[in-house]
Amino acid sequence: MKSLAAQALTFQYKLQLENAKNVINMNNIALAEVDKALSDMFTATTKLKLLNDLVENNIKKVETQEEEEENKT
């Protein structure tokens, strides 16, 4: 369940990045829109990094638990 939620969030953040890139690449766009797009990119990138760290830590915990279980037997 957690991995499915992580995948959904990853997709959402990547979509936000793609939308922000498209806004920035538009001609004759207002500076306020460019600023918002840059802010969205920063937020999405930060969230992706945090999500990646959480997933990596979760994987390490599972591996540690599996090793402990193997050592008990």
pLDDT of residue 29: 92
| Cα–Cα dist 41/46, whole Å | 8
Question: Taking Cα atoms as reference points, which of 9, 17, 6, 12 lies closest to residue 54?
Answer: 6
The closest alpha carbon to 40, from 57, 21, 25, belongs to 21
For residues 19 and 44, give the distance between their C-alpha atoms in angstroms, rounded to a whole number: 11
Asked if 46 and 13 count as a contact pair (C-beta separation under 8 A), the reply is: no
Q: Given this model, what pLDDT does residue 1 score?
A: 62
Task: Convert the pLDDT of each residue in 7-41 to its tens digit.
Answer: 899 999 999 999 999 999 999 999 999 999 999 99
What confidence score (pLDDT) does residue 4 get? 86
Task: Note the pLDDT of residue 10.
Answer: 92
pTM: 0.76
> For residue 73, what pLDDT is reported?
66
Domain ranges of the chain: 30-73
Residue 62 pLDDT: 82
